[in-house]
Amino acid sequence: MKGSNELYRLVYDYYATRILFGFYTYGDAMPSIHKICVQFRLAVPTVRTAFTYLERDGYIQVEASKVARVVYKAAPARIMKNIVDYFLPREDGLNDIGVAGRILIEPLFTRGLQRWEEDQWNQLREWLTNPSPDTLFMPIELYILALSALDNKLLLNLYWEMVRYLCFPYLSEDQAAWKLSLEELGIQTNEELIHYLKAEYFKVYTKTAVDLFSFLKTVRPRYAPTEPEPVPFQWSLYRQRPQIRYSLAASIIRGIVSGVYPIGSYLPSLPQLAAKYGTALSTIRRTVSLLNDLGVAASQHGKGILVCMTPQAIDFSSPDVHEMLDLYLESLQMLVYTSRSVSLFTFQSVSKAALEVLTEQFRCIRKESRTDLYLEIYLGFIVKHCSSAMVRECYDKLKQLLACGYPVTLMRLKKDSLGQEYNPAVLQAVTSLEAGDTEGFTDQWCEFLSQQENETRSFIMEQWKHSPQN
């Protein structure tokens, strides 16, 4: 999910939204901390932190040994404006998420369910038959349970960011509405149950979105006479990992691979790097330390930071290296699980000219012995041409994070360069695209990613197993 220092945001956002939109009004009692802990599966200190920030921002008042109460005052017109101000700039984004959710989240949801044991299915059936009043919005609960089975914090982070952007799942009240009689519905198998729930949840989302857009159309002339600046969905990746050193390290590795920082040269000075990436000098120092542990760079006293790319020197016992490789594996896993749906969806709206450009790029990297750019080029193609803004946003982040694994891939393959490593895969890609067989290309792309993920995960796990820390 998110790091412990950011988990409180889940509680904060939930209750701030409900207060701003009038579900709680001045003087109302807040639920007990114990009840919120049960709902969100969080520790007491995390919920207390959320209450501290809610009080700081003028939403509630907390008194010792007393229940917290809402102190935010707003007339109906103000509440109406709060709703309009939030949702109107996000109208296009909400429409897009309805599409992207099926392309990105549904494959992950299905994969998670495939890992369930029978007792988890039985628990779900009991849960649906007798929903608890302490449960959050039922679809959110189910998706979190399914996604948690994949043991991938990055994709849970994406899901929570999507829910936070949508906001309206926070406004559901009636859990009893999700109470089901599975016998009456004729649902017997696990597959039938999931098919039914996915269809029902999609209907609920569609109806909610339609009602919301209809409402916005009615109130727009009064509350928003001018068109607001759109607020698109943004994946705040490092809500889960606050340290941005991993992102910076990935950017610098991409610079090395692309030739911006050639091997044998020196990186810019620490102040220059801080200015270039817009971050603190202390963060740059931690990033350089990480690059040293990865064997990507070597700090030389009095000279600077030498670009060396010697992955045999990777320090697998380093906590920072462990965290960065976790991030890489999670990114690769997300690509494996979503690549088919995203690729096929993207090709639906791509022009013939764009496909010809992609094919020519693949021909060029074969000719120039730079087939290591295979992933970079195709992910860049999706980021540029996919009709879903949320998919473009997510795949752009994943494209950046894949650089985290470059040094390990060199070490795994015992190579100094990956220039010709993916030549067979790129040749297959060219052959399929020249024939206009985008589905065949997608099959090959998915197989390629799956192979990379399996081999890399096995290699990294073996290195961790034998690292000094273990």
Where residue 327 sits, what CATH number does that domain have?
1.20.120
Is residue 198 pLDDT above 90, yes or no?
Answer: no
Cα distance between residue 158 and residue 153, in whole Å: 9
The answer as to whether 234 is a domain residue is no
Q: How do the residues of the chain divide into helix, strand and coil, expressed in percent and rounded to 5?
A: 70, 5, 30
Verify that 16 and 88 share a domain, yes or no.
no
3 state DSSP class of 14: helix
Q: Is-contact 72 59, C-beta < 8 A?
A: yes
The answer as to whether 108 is a domain residue is yes
> Rounded mean pLDDT of 57-67?
90
The answer as to whether 446 is a domain residue is yes
Q: What is the pLDDT of residues 70-88, one digit of tens each?
A: 999 999 989 998 999 999 9
Model confidence at 9, pLDDT cuts 50, 70, 90, reads: confident
The answer as to whether 92 is a domain residue is yes
| Total count of domains within the chain | 4
Which among 54, 29, 32 has a CA at the least distance from the CA of 44? 32
Phi–psi pair at 225, nearest 5 degrees: -65, -25
Q: What is the pLDDT of residues 281-307, one digit of tens each?
A: 999 999 999 999 999 999 998 899 999
Biggest alpha carbon–alpha carbon distance for the chain: 77
3 state DSSP class of 244: coil
Nearest 5°: CA angle at 276, between 246 and 279? 55
Q: What is the pLDDT of residues 336-363, one digit of tens each?
A: 999 999 999 999 999 999 999 999 999 9
Verify that 455 and 355 share a domain, yes or no.
yes
The answer as to whether 236 is a domain residue is no
pLDDT of residue 338: 97
Verify that 323 and 434 share a domain, yes or no.
yes
Cα distance between residue 289 and residue 470, in whole Å: 21
61 DSSP β-pair partners? 69
Cα distance between residue 470 and residue 463, in whole Å: 10
Which among 363, 393, 360, 365 has a CA at the least distance from the CA of 379? 393
The answer as to whether 112 is a domain residue is yes
Q: Token digits for 197?
A: 């729930």
Is residue 181 pLDDT above 90, yes or no?
Answer: no
The answer as to whether 229 is a domain residue is no
70 DSSP β-pair partners? 60
The answer as to whether 53 is a domain residue is yes
Domain of 148?
A: 79-223
Cα distance between residue 150 and residue 206, in whole Å: 27
Verify that 418 and 461 share a domain, yes or no.
yes
3 state DSSP class of 150: coil
- CA–CA distances in Å: residue 282 to residues 165, 236, 278, 287: 32, 22, 12, 9
Give the pTM. Answer: 0.88
Cα distance between residue 371 and residue 274, in whole Å: 32
DSSP H helices, 101-167, are: 106-114, 118-129, 138-148, 153-166
For residue 400, the one-letter residue type is: Q
3 state DSSP class of 300: strand
**DSSP letter assigned to residue 115:** T
Domain boundary among 74, 104, 121: 74
Domain boundary among 285, 309, 333: 309
* Residue 299, domain CATH: 1.10.10.10
Q: For residues 96 and 242, which has the higher predicted lDDT (pLDDT)?
A: 96
Verify that 128 and 185 share a domain, yes or no.
yes
Verify that 184 and 155 share a domain, yes or no.
yes
Verify that 264 and 395 share a domain, yes or no.
no
